[in-house]
Structure 1
Amino acid sequence: MKTHRTVIAASLAAAFFVPPAWAADDIQSVVVTAQSRKQLVQDVPMTMQVVTAKDIASIGAKDLADLNGYIPGLTVDATEPTQPSFGIRGVNAGDFGIATDSPVGIYVDGVYTGKTGGALMNFIDVQRIEVVKGPQGTLFGRNSAAGAISIATNEPGKELDANAHVKLGKFGRANADVMLNFPITDTLATRLVVVRSGSEGWVDNTYTGKKSGGDKDWATRLSVRKDFDAAKLVFAWEHENMEQYGRPAFGVIKNPALPLGGYRGVYDAAYTANFVNPFDAPLANDEPGTEGRMFDGTTLRFEAPLAGMTFNSTTAYRRFQTHNLTDNDGGARADLHLTTQDAKHARSFQQEFKLSGKTDQLDWIAGLSFYHNNEHQDAGAYITTGTIDTLSQFAGGDPNFAMLFGGLAAAGLPGISPNTQYTWDETHYSDVRTKSASIYGDTIWHLTPTTNATVGLRYTRDDKSMRWYVPGRVSPQLDDFLNRFGPLAGVNAATFPSNVVFSTAAQLASSPVSREKNWTDWSPRLVLDHKLDKNTLLFTSLSRGYQAGGFNIFTPPNPASATNAGKDPSFEPEKMTNFEVGTKMVLPALNATVNASLFAYKFKNLQDIQLYSVGTIPTYNVISSDQKAHGLDVDGRIRLSPRVTLFGGFEYIDQTYTRYQRLDASGNVTLDLGGQPVGTPRLTAMGGVNVNWEMADGRASVNFQGTHATGTRCNSDKAALSCLSTAKLQTGTAKSKFDLRVGWDSPTARYGVAVIVNNVFDQRYIESLGGQTEQYGAPYAYLTPPRAIGVEFRASM
């Protein structure tokens, strides 16, 4: 077994990126802080999974999205990394607005990252990742109703250390990183890490002649640690700059007579028979798009003994700017053209004070937490006059612009025809200010030497203020044309509406409109655990999590609305109540560990924003639902010999809606999914093998691992596109993926080489089919990437 220092030196180079903790030989000795205390993972009465730097390296992961499938029950959608979505045990939200929060909290060194631009970052000097399932309202606070992901980074050490790593691979993959740990004095040390990653992309955009599906970013982290006898002070600064093309969108409608010639508002067999297989069709996005992020963050952590207790302070400041310009029609047709822009900038400040102590009977913590966040969002919809004509015809109207242009051409106006296109840009501006404060306590009572009872409680108050502003369209060329030549046909620029996509919002917020609201919550947890023997832990828990309330950024308040949601676009907090019973076992005779837990939960007021039509034009609307689920989590590993370790895990879940209703503009129910499946696959599983042996005076290793998820569970809403099966394509199918790492390390582990193959068997799937043009019969698909092969080289002191 290598020492901890050697493991970190050898694996940090993978961009902190081998067998997973799920495969590590010494998993029972991993120390975690999920309960705000340092404990061995096998002693923590919670369902959790730990990922180490070595694990990350085994699949060449650069961020949380690359771990998809390897933590059963955790899903990360990073199709657009500035708008990620996280889910645990089937609970996630697809909302990208700034006025809502995520039910899964992401924390880096105890600092909440939010849900948008700062949530999905490159792995930089990561020591471990703790994925805690179930409500964590007491320990982690707001916005961890479904669970929490806690990322711990390495602190500066007292020994001089350095390493470097390079990865080259298919599709122009070129990653590199370097780490330097430098002790300045016996009590002062600094640590610098620089990471760069990038690829050209895995598909050719035939419209632009450029690659798509690539990534490009670089990041750095500088940290300083100062020791004062028993106290320590750690300062860290992080920076990341990402700039890449937008994600590829594959249109499945290639017949120019469609959708107008065949779509009637229903995806029936006759219409879906026209879909082409996106794997067989070339990518042709007329808007290649760009996605970028500029992020800076500072964190100051202080720890010191205080009158027999321990005092901790964490102070953090974060700011970022993001932009995401994307093709949202999946093709290059002017009559369907839709490009969207999502731009955000945010500043947040966090402060937490924590006091903890231990006695023979008690192990307790108490704390205060404050969070302030100011965020601005520009949501742009960029269409053409051809798109407007298409929408008009779907609503039973005429192609007004084509008729106007054709009539003027017939009257002798040169340079104009029915096919002439002018741009039409609309932007929806939103501002949100959030203030949150909480006080909490959590105590472990040692009832007997083998039995503990834990009681925790957190009180939270959230204040949010929201501002909407939707000015008129920006279409200078069109307006100039209409004002100059429109009078020949009896029209001018003012004849046409100021907005089409954001028409309702523009009528309500042509000048800024604001609202404020606050919410409070008590989040408790009760845990009972018992050591049956030194190798077997039994536990049961009852807990509740809380996600702050918010606003629908696309729906300003409308006092004349027929629905309460229209009059008041705020919505109540989301809450999950979860019951769990489980066990953690170490089996020395088999060199094995096994962990299992049964769970059941009820989730109330899950908020999701979806695009659908409540009138003639599709708009974004908040869907509030209640859900329930029960299931089983199991993970384990067995060391067959000093050279061979098997590992695996799975989650089974049965998740259904107890309440889900979609309303039209008059408040009438148009869709009711109560009692139907949410869509979460019943089973997600992972497994693999790690083999190592001596070779060429060093050590060779092979890590082969894979993931599997059963198909999407269909309901009456998803059946149309998410569970589609035609002669040409299938969606919602079961998915599998396998990864391989073959490596060799020198005798001292100071240098090494490895080959990593992601998606070994080149298994490809339609990740999703729909998009914003789904509403008028022209959906597009996102596809999983093909097999990728890379070679890694590393060296360390």
Structure 2
Amino acid sequence: MTTFNKAALAICISTALCGQTAFAQESATPQNKDRGLEQITVTAQKRTQSIQEVPISIATLSGERFESMFAGGEDILALAVRVPGLYAETSNGRVAPRFYIRGLGNTDFDLAASQPVSIVMDDVVKENVILKSFPLFDVQQVEVIRGPQGTLFGRNTTAGIIKFDSVKPSDDFDAYVKLGVGNLGTLNFEAAVGGELADNLSGRFSVLSQDRDDWIDNAYTGENDAMGGFDEKAWRGQLLFAPSDDFSALLNVHGRELDGTASMFRANVFTKGSNNLNGNFDRDVVYYDGDLQGDGPDNNPQSYENYGASLKLEFGLDGMSLTSITAIEQAEGSSLGDIDGGVVLNEPADINGDGSLETTFPGNIAFPAVTQDNLDDLEQFTQEIRLASETGDAMSWQVGYFYYDSSFNVTSIDGFFGATTVFHENTTWAVFGQTSYDVNDKLNITGGLRYTYDEKSLMVGEQNVDGFALVIGAASVQDYEDINVDDGQVSWELSANYKLDADTSVFARLANGFRAQTIQGRDVAFEGNPSVAEAETINSFELGFKSDLLDDTLRLNAAMFYYQIDDVQFSAIGGGANNTALVNADKGVGYGFEIDAEYLVNEFVTLTAGYSYNNTEIQDDTLTVLPCGSNPDFAFTGNCTVNDPRPDGYRAVIDGNPFPQAPETIFNFTARYATPVGDDGEFFVFTDWAFQGETSLFLYDSIEYTVDDNFEGGLRIGYENYAHNYSIAFFGRNITDEENVKGGVDFNNLTGIVNQPRIFGIEAKVSFY
């Protein structure tokens, strides 16, 4: 009943906004508002095109709809469920996000994990999971490009791409300063300045500062406000040299520093047989005893830094253009977690003050678990060269070459086994081409081909040399051989776009891509063997239509899809030892649809809405995993209620299960109402809501680790002055303070990971032109 009432509240807010239309029509028209929706251009095919003409399912975010998501200090995970078909989560705090499109993603929490969703920022791929978390600020537009994108963007794009473009330098001066202050000591500061520096030279410099005080108590130590906060700083400097129409050079230099708290693991917040949060859950309190330093609980600290640069050169040739993009990235840092989420005592104690003696709390915890992962010496180098036609001919084309090289090492430190270091290297090169042909004024056909060669290696360095397990004889130094894997794959696409009329088109697309083979070395830290997954390949088919209706006041885009993945890669995480192994399922299939809509009701009210349905299924009747703490060695069948067949009583058969962390449905909408105030301002109300349908958190199906009906809402109420270019607004994120389960740790107890609390405050922005 509570969920129904809160969902109804969201709908009532939207209805109330629309109900003001009659009153608004009697008022003066807001300043600088043109009737008709904005025409959106995208670069999904590495050339500027109207979103309505690209034969791919694409959604964009920009302006108020994008910026309002981050008013409360949110990171890149705020994008989750804000676009149909898009989801994101993490068990690594503000770094290492995991993205999913159309149900396809990767739950692997290792710092060497690969993902089928590629993150591209300012034309540079961010391959490592740490690089994917670079803060978002001074962003021009976000493009969510659904479906395989293997031809133009390469391997590891079997689910799609999220593409971020920052505001670029120009000759015209502009600047802004934005400051937000909220509860829990939340402070957001963002600023940018840009313009002409000299003849043919312009620049832009942008900064971001996000801060929150610690607000979660460690009840075990009695320390109030021990963790939960963060201090994140990021900056970007750009120089654009454009001496002529035939040449430009854009230099981008950026950096990021983060000190904060990793994800909060909360022990036994579920009761067996239920997925509802129980009495052990208190958003403001945890019980942590995790200690790797020997000087008391560490309280889940996290610290990372990342620096990078790119140089984009564009040359105008006779009927062609040549583009070169060279980029480097560096990163390092560490993150620690009290993984068991509670306390394990050496001696029984009366922790409840009622005379009862307990050895673990909250609830039963099989054994203490605290781990730290250090990422060192991450270096990524990429080089892309493209040659493209620049004529008005019916046929256009582009060809290119891509090179990628990355190396880093990960040291995993466990409280029992000690420290282990593994070294990863990855080299990739590819050649690609795409051509597009206008058959006539209505029909366009596009085809593309790419060959990719990918090589990876893993070397194990020092291991377990300082662990307690080695001292007592429970572990030994292992001898691991280096692992080297390589593969070459061809990716292709074929699509057609047909204009029914000037405002409506339909498209069809066939696409093939692959996620490269992967090496997982995390189990080495626990005397396990590294695991290798073969490359997965996807064949996808989609049909869609795009339309601008009602005199360009209603935009309605939709697509339906079906895909099949051979040798689909999964991460089997869990069991009594919390092993992390890569596995290949025989097949994975998915089908569904997504709808994006934007409606300018009148000059005062604008609505957007989106809905997606994703049905995914694992197809492999031989693949089994150990669920929720199951351990045949100790005859333990696990902590949770498993719905899958378990022929041996321990391992679960996952054939027919949905993909993990794949919401079956996503629904989101926004509503904006504005009314004039005087001759040069307006009062506005903006609300945004996102709903997440049934989602299984792991490969196996269990009652406790399946969530449903999660939702969050945001609200902004403010005033904007056009004459003096400033705005001020009250904001709220997660305004109904929903307690949504986002993930779990299932090997030791019924541990959960929960969303961020309600954040509210005030934000002001001043712009200069």
TM range (shorter): 0.7 to 0.9
Query: Which of these residues, 505, 523, 526, is aligned with residue 491 of structure 2?
Result: 523
Query: Which of these residues, 360, 368, 372, is aligned with residue 341 of structure 1?
Result: 372
Query: Which of these residues, 82, 91, 99, is aligned with residue 95 of structure 2?
Result: 82
Q: Cα–Cα, structure 1 residues 327 and 495, in superposed 2: closer, same or farther, change >3 Å?
A: closer
Aligned residue for 2:39?
A: 29
Matched, 1:775 2:747: yes
Query: Which of these residues, 255, 265, 282, is aligned with residue 239 of structure 1?
Result: 255
> What is the identity, as a one-letter code, of the residue corresponding to 1:689?
A
Alpha-carbon distance between aligned partners in 2 of 1:324 and 1:555, rounded to the nearest angstrom: 17
Compute the displacement of 1:89 (Å): 0.9
Query: Which of these residues, 315, 330, 336, is aligned with residue 325 of structure 1?
Result: 336
Verify the 8 A CA contact 2:81 2:691 in the aligned structure 1: yes
Query: Which of these residues, 371, 384, 387, is aligned with residue 355 of structure 1?
Result: 387
Alignment of 1:584-733 (within 5 A): 584-589=546-551, 591-613=553-575, 617-625=577-585, 626-659=587-620, 661-662=623-624, 670-678=651-659, 680-696=662-678, 697-712=680-695, 717-723=700-706, 732-733=707-708
Alpha-carbon distance between aligned partners in 1 of 2:58 and 2:432, rounded to the nearest angstrom: 22
Alpha-carbon distance between aligned partners in 2 of 1:210 and 1:281, rounded to the nearest angstrom: 9
1:105-159, Cα deviation, whole Å (9 max, x unpaired) = 0001111111321101111321111100000001211211110011111211102
Alpha-carbon distance between aligned partners in 2 of 1:375 and 1:58, rounded to the nearest angstrom: 35
Verify the 8 A CA contact 2:532 2:582 in the aligned structure 1: no
Compute the displacement of 1:637 (Å): 1.5
**Larger Rg computed on CA atoms:** 1
> What is the identity, as a one-letter code, of the residue corresponding to 1:433?
E
Q: Cα–Cα, structure 1 residues 715 and 63, in superposed 2: closer, same or farther, change >3 Å?
A: closer
Matched, 1:299 2:280: no
Aligned residue for 2:508?
A: 540
Matched, 1:215 2:246: no
Aligned residue for 1:278?
A: 281
Compute the displacement of 1:623 (Å): 2.8
Q: In structure 1, the residue corresponding to 2:151 is in which secondary structure?
A: coil
Alpha-carbon distance between aligned partners in 1 of 2:578 and 2:197, rounded to the nearest angstrom: 61
> What is the identity, as a one-letter code, of the residue corresponding to 1:154?
V
Compute the displacement of 1:341 (Å): 0.6
Verify the 8 A CA contact 1:252 1:276 in the aligned structure 2: no
Compute the displacement of 1:473 (Å): 4.4
Alpha-carbon distance between aligned partners in 2 of 1:649 and 1:428, rounded to the nearest angstrom: 46
Q: Cα–Cα, structure 1 residues 308 and 280, in superposed 2: closer, same or farther, change >3 Å?
A: closer
Deviates more, 1:754-763 or 1:424-433: 424-433
Aligned residue for 1:785?
A: 756
> What is the identity, as a one-letter code, of the residue corresponding to 1:288?
N
1:139-191, Cα deviation, whole Å (9 max, x unpaired) = 21121111001111121110222221110001100111221114112310111
Q: Cα–Cα, structure 1 residues 647 and 281, in superposed 2: closer, same or farther, change >3 Å?
A: closer
Compute the displacement of 1:716 (Å): 8.7
Deviates more, 1:463-472 or 1:162-171: 463-472
Q: In structure 1, the residue corresponding to 2:70 is in which secondary structure?
A: coil
Q: Cα–Cα, structure 1 residues 253 and 190, in superposed 2: closer, same or farther, change >3 Å?
A: closer
Matched, 1:438 2:430: yes
Compute the displacement of 1:612 (Å): 3.2
Alpha-carbon distance between aligned partners in 1 of 2:552 and 2:592, rounded to the nearest angstrom: 27
Q: Cα–Cα, structure 1 residues 359 and 241, in superposed 2: closer, same or farther, change >3 Å?
A: same
Aligned residue for 2:456?
A: 464
Aligned residue for 2:737?
A: 762
Query: Which has the larger share of helix?
Result: 1
Q: Cα–Cα, structure 1 residues 714 and 663, in superposed 2: closer, same or farther, change >3 Å?
A: closer
Q: Pairwise CA RMSD of aligned residues?
A: 2.9
Verify the 8 A CA contact 2:517 2:533 in the aligned structure 1: yes
1:519-561, Cα deviation, whole Å (9 max, x unpaired) = 111110000110010000100000012211121213569xxx9
Alpha-carbon distance between aligned partners in 2 of 1:273 and 1:638, rounded to the nearest angstrom: 37
Q: Cα–Cα, structure 1 residues 334 and 365, in superposed 2: closer, same or farther, change >3 Å?
A: farther
Compute the displacement of 1:82 (Å): 2.2
Verify the 8 A CA contact 1:438 1:461 in the aligned structure 2: yes
Q: TM-score, normalised by structure 2?
A: 0.83
Matched, 1:571 2:526: no
Q: In structure 1, the residue corresponding to 2:77 is in which secondary structure?
A: helix
Verify the 8 A CA contact 1:96 1:116 in the aligned structure 2: no
Verify the 8 A CA contact 1:117 1:322 in the aligned structure 2: no
Q: In structure 1, the residue corresponding to 2:131 is in which secondary structure?
A: coil
Q: In structure 1, the residue corresponding to 2:164 is in which secondary structure?
A: strand
Matched, 1:315 2:326: yes
Deviates more, 1:232-241 or 1:115-124: 115-124
Alpha-carbon distance between aligned partners in 1 of 2:658 and 2:577, rounded to the nearest angstrom: 28
Compute the displacement of 1:701 (Å): 1.5
Query: Which of these residues, 385, 395, 400, is aligned with residue 367 of structure 1?
Result: 400
> What is the identity, as a one-letter code, of the residue corresponding to 2:395?
L
Verify the 8 A CA contact 1:329 1:779 in the aligned structure 2: no
> What is the identity, as a one-letter code, of the residue corresponding to 1:311?
L
Q: Cα–Cα, structure 1 residues 698 and 323, in superposed 2: closer, same or farther, change >3 Å?
A: same
Alpha-carbon distance between aligned partners in 2 of 1:109 and 1:373, rounded to the nearest angstrom: 19
> What is the identity, as a one-letter code, of the residue corresponding to 2:249?
L
Compute the displacement of 1:766 (Å): 2.5
User: Any stretches of 5+ residues in structure 1 without a counterpart?
Assistant: 1-22, 255-266, 383-423, 480-492, 500-505, 724-731
Alignment of 1:60-75 (within 5 A): 60=70, 62-75=74-87
Compute the displacement of 1:591 (Å): 1.6
Q: In structure 2, the residue corresponding to 1:171 is in which secondary structure?
A: coil
Aligned residue for 1:734?
A: 709
Verify the 8 A CA contact 2:149 2:161 in the aligned structure 1: yes
Verify the 8 A CA contact 1:82 1:324 in the aligned structure 2: no
Compute the displacement of 1:582 (Å): 0.3
1:199-252, Cα deviation, whole Å (9 max, x unpaired) = 114533323322433221101111101002111100010010001122222222
Q: Cα–Cα, structure 1 residues 649 and 280, in superposed 2: closer, same or farther, change >3 Å?
A: closer
Verify the 8 A CA contact 1:278 1:781 in the aligned structure 2: no
Q: Identity over the aligned pairs, expressed in percent?
A: 22
Q: Cα–Cα, structure 1 residues 217 and 631, in superposed 2: closer, same or farther, change >3 Å?
A: same
> What is the identity, as a one-letter code, of the residue corresponding to 1:323?
S
Alpha-carbon distance between aligned partners in 2 of 1:466 and 1:244, rounded to the nearest angstrom: 30
Matched, 1:40 2:56: no
Deviates more, 1:461-470 or 1:670-679: 670-679
Q: In structure 1, the residue corresponding to 2:78 is in which secondary structure?
A: helix
Alpha-carbon distance between aligned partners in 2 of 1:253 and 1:634, rounded to the nearest angstrom: 36
Aligned residue for 1:409?
A: none
Alpha-carbon distance between aligned partners in 1 of 2:37 and 2:81, rounded to the nearest angstrom: 20
User: Any stretches of 5+ residues in structure 2 without a counterpart?
Assistant: 1-32, 290-297, 347-366, 627-631, 634-646
Q: Cα–Cα, structure 1 residues 498 and 321, in superposed 2: closer, same or farther, change >3 Å?
A: same
Compute the displacement of 1:280 (Å): 7.7
Q: Cα–Cα, structure 1 residues 743 and 24, in superposed 2: closer, same or farther, change >3 Å?
A: farther
Alpha-carbon distance between aligned partners in 2 of 1:212 and 1:494, rounded to the nearest angstrom: 33
Q: In structure 2, the residue corresponding to 1:329 is in which secondary structure?
A: coil
Alpha-carbon distance between aligned partners in 2 of 1:495 and 1:763, rounded to the nearest angstrom: 46
> What is the identity, as a one-letter code, of the residue corresponding to 1:102?
Q
Alpha-carbon distance between aligned partners in 2 of 1:218 and 1:246, rounded to the nearest angstrom: 16
Verify the 8 A CA contact 2:175 2:192 in the aligned structure 1: yes
Compute the displacement of 1:712 (Å): 2.5
Verify the 8 A CA contact 1:458 1:524 in the aligned structure 2: yes
Q: In structure 2, the residue corresponding to 1:209 is in which secondary structure?
A: strand
Alpha-carbon distance between aligned partners in 2 of 1:241 and 1:644, rounded to the nearest angstrom: 40
Aligned residue for 1:391?
A: none
Aligned residue for 2:29?
A: none
Query: Which of these residues, 77, 84, 92, is aligned with residue 105 of structure 2?
Result: 92
Compute the displacement of 1:337 (Å): 2.2
